[in-house]
Amino acid sequence: MRDTYRHKGLRKRLVHSLRQRGISDEAVLAAIGAVPRHFFLDKTFEEHAYDDKALPIAHGQTISQPFTVAYQTSLLEIKPDDRVLEIGTGSGYQAAILAALGAQVYSVERQEGLYAQTKALLGAMQWKNVHCFFGDGTAGLPQFAPYDKVLVTAGAPVVPEALRKQLAWPGGVLVIPVGKTVQKMHKITRTGRDTYKEEELDAFRFVPLLEGVAPR
């Protein structure tokens, strides 16, 4: 895996375009400027790695467009050593961005082949603060709860109650796109044992969040 001056220049241009689109969190922009997105894509798509668009990855999934990654990550307001649960490991790019911000990332993937591939990639990149798991993301990872932040990278028809319950309180934050065809981004802050503040934000399109694990 090579990260050339050209790649770094393309990332710098991408960061500039994200700033123009309204992303103002400088720590998030720095992480996007540092993490080589082309490492997470098949060689076929390397030329488009720093375009602001979603691209196909294995098992019929996609790597989210950089704007979406930056938008969701900014909403989380990551602090160093935050414990973050990510639902939908996918390519591993979002997990790497969280790790670059200093979070301890616990990431769940329901596609076993994709889980194995991405876990190996993140290991090769030496992201020691990313912990990958194969399983049903809608159930979270209760064995490591509570989490300071929870991020869902697929569109949920409703907010899974298990993910709310695994937030630390007070102050734990869940960022999740909710809806069927088009999703509205929701930011949910746990304010007490059974109380939450919920904000509905901008519209996006995600692959659907599915229960269970994918059949082999």
Catalytic residues: 64
Pair of tokens at residue 103: 């979070």
140, 160 in Cβ contact below 8 A?
A: yes
Q: Which residues contact 2 (CB under 8 A, 6 or more apart)?
A: none
Cα dihedral 167, 169, 175, 181 sign: positive
Question: How far, in Å, CA of 103 to CA of 97, rounded?
Answer: 9
At which residue do the structure tokens 């876990």 appear?
119
Task: Specify the pairing of strand 183-190 against strand 173-178.
Answer: antiparallel
CB burial of residue 150 (10 Å; 0-12, 13-18, 19+)? buried
